[in-house]
Structure 1
Amino acid sequence: MAMGSLSDSDDDFNPEINTTPLVDVMLVLLIIFIMTIPVMNHAVKIDLPRATNQPDQVKPESINLSLDAAGKVYWNDEIVDRDGLQVKIAAAAKKEPQPELHLRAERTTEYEKIAQVMAAAQSGGLGKIGFVTDPDAKAK
C-alpha cells in the first residue's frame, strides 16, 4: 500500500488513493450478480384462466317506497293506497331477479305505519327490504 512516510521531504508523500482493491471488489460483485440473475428470473409457467367481459349477475332493480308523516305511501314517487300497494308488491315479488325495496320514512312517521308497510312487503313475497336514512338531517 502506498502510504506517506514519516520523513519531511515532499517527494515521498503520495496523496493518491490506491483503487486496485476497489476495482477487485467491484469485479467480484459483478461476477456474483451475473451468476445470480438467471436464478432470480426462474419462473414457473402456469396456464391462467382468461377473464370475460360479460357481467355474471344482473343487478336487481330497486323500488323506492316512501312514507310521509301523514301515512301516505309513495311507490317510486307516485302515491298509492293500501290496496294498490298490495297489488304492486305482489307483482314485484314475481319478477326475476326479485327487486329490492328501499324504504324511506320521515322522522315524524309513526312506527305502526312503517311496520304495516314492512308486513305488507313480507306477506307479498318481497325478501329484501332496505332502510334509507339521511345522516345529515338535524334533529328538531
Structure 2
Amino acid sequence: MAMNVGGDSTEKPLSEINATPLVDVMLVLLIIFLIAVPVVLQTVEVQLPKVRFDPTTTKPENVSLSVTSTDGQCSVFWGMTKVTQPELLDRAVSKLKLEIARQGGVDAPGLELPEVHVRADVSVPWKCVAGAIYNMQMAGFAKVGFISEPPPGENVQRI
C-alpha cells in the first residue's frame, strides 16, 4: 500500500485509487462463485418421453369425466350427469365392482380394469381436477388419463 504522509503545502493530494485491495476482493469472489455454482446447478439425467398425439381408443367400460368450474365451484360430470364428490366415489366403486364381477372376479386371468378419461376446462382450478382424480383412485381405478385437444395444424386421425 502506498501512502503520502506530510510534506510541504505545495504538494497536491494523492487522487489515485489503490486498486490492489479491490482486485483481491474480486478474485476471492470469483473463486467463491466458481466453487458454489456447480453445487447449485446439479441436474438429474431423465429421459423424457417424446410427445405425440395418439388417438384415444375408447372402450365402453371406460369412465368419462368432465370437470368444469363456475364462480370457484367445481362441477364434475360422469358422462352427461352432474355428480357430487360423494356420489362420484359411490358410482366409481360400484362401477369397478360390476366390471370385476363381469370379468370373473379379482383372480380372473387377464383382468383388465377400466380407465378414467378426464376432460377438464382450461380455466378449471387444479383442486377441482385433483379432487376428481383422488376420488377415482380411492375407488380403485389405477389408470387415469387426460383428454386434450391437439395443437392447431396437427394432422390427427380421429376414430
Count of matched residue positions in the alignment of Structure 1 and Structure 2 = 79
Contact preservation (8 Å) 1:92, 1:126: no
Q: Of 103, 119, 135, which aligns to 2:134?
A: 119
Post-superposition Cα deviations, 1:27-59, rounded to whole Å, max 9, x if no partner, equal xxxxxxxxxxxxxxxxxxxxxxxxxxxxxxxx6
2:144 alignment counterpart: 129
- Deviation, structure 1 residue 83: 1.3
Query: Which amino acid is the alignment partner of residue 129 of structure 2?
Result: I
What's the RMSD between the two structures over aligned residues? 1.8
2:87 aligned with 1:72: no
Q: Of 90, 95, 115, which aligns to 2:93?
A: 90
Contact preservation (8 Å) 1:90, 1:125: yes
Q: What runs of 5+ residues in structure 1 fail to find an aligned partner?
A: 1-58
2:121 aligned with 1:106: yes
Q: What runs of 5+ residues in structure 2 fail to find an aligned partner?
A: 1-58, 101-111, 153-159
Contact preservation (8 Å) 1:67, 1:106: yes
Post-superposition Cα deviations, 1:40-94, rounded to whole Å, max 9, x if no partner, equal xxxxxxxxxxxxxxxxxxx662111000123111001111111110101111222
Query: What percent of counterpart residues are identical?
Result: 28
In terms of Rg, which structure is larger? 1
Contact preservation (8 Å) 1:60, 1:100: no
Superposed structure 1 runs of 4+ greater than 2 Å apart: none
Query: Which amino acid is the alignment partner of residue 120 of structure 1?
Result: N
Q: TM-score, normalised by structure 1?
A: 0.51
Q: Which has the higher contact order (CA 8 A, sep 6+)?
A: 2
Query: Which amino acid is the alignment partner of residue 122 of structure 1?
Result: Q
- Deviation, structure 1 residue 124: 0.9
Question: Distance in 2 between the 1:134 and 1:77 partners?
Answer: 19
Question: Distance in 2 between the 1:91 and 1:136 partners?
Answer: 36
